[in-house]
Amino acid sequence: MSFAERPVRRLLLLPGTRHLAEMLLNRLAGLLARRHAGMLDRLADFAGATCLIVPRDLPAAFLLTLQPAAQPPQLELVDPACVTDARATIRTDLATLLKLLEGRIDGDALFFSRDLMVEGDMEVVVALRNAVDDAGIDLIGDSAAACGPFAAPAEKLGRHMAGMAARLHRRLAITIMGGDTA
């Protein structure tokens, strides 16, 4: 961990920050589960399974726990070094994770080229990949749809902000991690 990354991780994992981030993440997971019910159907055999998702260019990771009875998965913000009992682990950069979530990139090719690292129980990883790949998730479009009559302007604003966030993330990553992730 770089000198600059440590305080960012500490800030992210402070109880208040962490609680807020987890609340937002789980709201999003619930929204996606409602809009893409078939995704949970494909994961029905894996209730209780955990998967540690590590964005290499973020100072914290997500621990995903699949739930029974078509309930949306639960997400926790964690220090990846402190999680040793996840059934599977996925590591890549955040931008790639988002593309995988939206089915815009070939996960197997990333694995062959070693840009995506998987460890542990491949049954969970394969089921997750297939379920998410079929769902047709559009993070901005799905989130905007929850705004009812304001969906169209919300989507426009969301796409504009996503562009800004991507640029900011690249700059922050260079500063915090001491490397170029462009």
Partner 1 sequence: MTGAPLELVCPAGTPAALRDAIDAGADVVYLGFRDETNARNFPGLNFSRPELRDGIGYAHRRGREVFVAINTYAAAGNQAAWHRAIDDAAQLGADAVIVADIGLLDYAATKHPGLRLHLSVQAAASHAEAIRFYHEAFGVRRVVLPRVLTVAEIAQLTRQIPVETEVFAFGGMCPMAEGRCSLSSYVTGQSPNRQGVCSPASHVRYEQRGEALVSSLGGSTINIFDKAEKAGYPTLCKGRFAVGGSYADYLFEEPTSLSTGEILHDLARAGVKALKIEGRQRGRAYVAEVVRQFRSLVDGMAGGDAPAGAVAALRQLAEGQQETSGAYRKGWR
Size of the site for partner 1 (CB under 8 A): 35
Give the x-and-dash track for 25-64 against partner 1 (CB under 8 A).
Answer: -------------x--xxx-xx------------------
From 1, 20, 70, 126, residue interacting with partner 1 (rule: CB under 8 A):
126
Could you give the string, one character per residue 58-97, with x where binding to partner 1 holds by CB under 8 A and - elsewhere? ----------------------------------------
Give the H or E element holding residue 20. Answer: helix 15-35
CB of 160 to partner 1, least distance (A): 25
Residue 35 CA to residue 32 CA, distance in Å, equals 5
CA–CA distances in Å: residue 138 to residues 36, 61, 168 = 10, 22, 21
Told to check if 22 binds partner 1 by CB under 8 A, we report no
Residue type, 34: R
Count Cα atoms within 13 angstroms, Cβ side, for 93.
15
104: which 2 tokens?
């815009």
Query: Of the listed pieces 8-16, 74-82, 133-141, 158-166, which binds partner 1 according to CB under 8 A?
Result: 133-141
Q: Which is nearer to partner 1, 99 or 170 (CB)?
A: 99
Rounded to an integer, what distance in angstroms lies between the CA atom of residue 120 and that of residue 162? 32
* Tokens read off for 53: 């998702």
**d(Cα 18, Cα 3) in Å, to the nearest integer?**
21
User: Is residue 103 a contact residue for partner 1 (CB under 8 A)?
Assistant: yes
Our finding on whether 135 is near partner 1 (CB under 8 A) is yes
What span, in angstroms and rounded, lies between the C-alpha atoms of 83 and 66? Answer: 16
- The footprint of partner 1 (CB under 8 A) covers 38, 41-43, 45-46, 103-109, 111-114, 117-123, 125-131, 133-136
